[in-house]
Amino acid sequence: MTGDLFSLKGKNAWITGGAHGIGFSIACAYAAAGADWIVFNCSNEASRQKGLDAYHAAGIENVRGYVCDVTDEKAVHDLVERIHAEVGPIHILVNNAGIIKRIPMHEMKRAEFQQVIDVDLVAPYICAAAVVPEMMERREGKIINICSMMSELGRETVSAYAAAKGGLKMLTRNICSEYGAYNIQCNGLGPGYIATSQTAPLRERQPDGSRHPFDAFIVAKTPAGRWLAPEELAGPAVFLASKASDAVNGHILYVDGGILAYIGKQP
């Protein structure tokens, strides 16, 4: 019985930006949990092919990759129709695609701020709105938005990102409120600081052997005393996509090693 609760057998999952990093790790977890098909999209053909190669190397064959700009409403709706035609219904949507621009707010151009809002907040709205009608008809669906600790905390140079993720947190709650009666669960997954290729430069040892200043800061702020591995998102991501979370809706599950609960080490 417990195994069935977490099984994704018979389900198709669409992970935006799922060619690498967190999205790829979540997709692999869904495949391991028995999902019938993994679908991902990315912004260009080179990334799509690299993603397909990574999935095949991981032994995942039931995977489709597409090129789609998730900020383009027509392109997203066209993609959803194509997924339905080539794979079948979308049971699970993971709004993972995102960007960050680390620029002091007073130096940031409006167009830069808007780009982050469009990718990190408007795109999840577009993708969710595109899959909800079919989920309503089926009276079943899971939408998982990749939120961030920056939906709860502020930090210098990430004003646009924090604003977008704070908005995404509230979009998550509103989708829950609006479509819960259709047995659609919309929750957020809030990763902490994850050791990926993108964050590798922040974890490199300095010439004198000391930690990178940001690395030292994160380790000191995390009760776990370390960066988290992408694979540590697997269990929470499967939980939010499976029957085990059917009574969980509008919740943000932070997988942060305890940062949000911790004031930090005394100097």
> Cα separation of 119 and 115, whole Å?
6
Count of C-beta atoms within a 10 Å radius of residue 78: 14
- Give, as one character, the DSSP assignment of residue 162: H
Active site residue 161: yes
- Give the contacts of 43 (CB within 8 A, at least 6 positions apart): 67, 68, 69
Q: Where are the alpha helices (DSSP H) in the chain?
A: 2-5, 21-32, 45-57, 73-86, 110-117, 123-138, 159-179, 213-221, 234-241
Q: Of 30, 55, 161, 254, which residue is the catalytic one? A: 161
Distances (CA, A) of 189 to 146, 177, 212, 265: 5, 18, 27, 26
Sheet holding 12-16, edge to edge: 63-67, 37-42, 12-16, 92-95, 141-146, 184-191, 252-255
> Cα separation of 214 and 192, whole Å?
14
Strand partners, 222: none
Positions marked active-site = 161
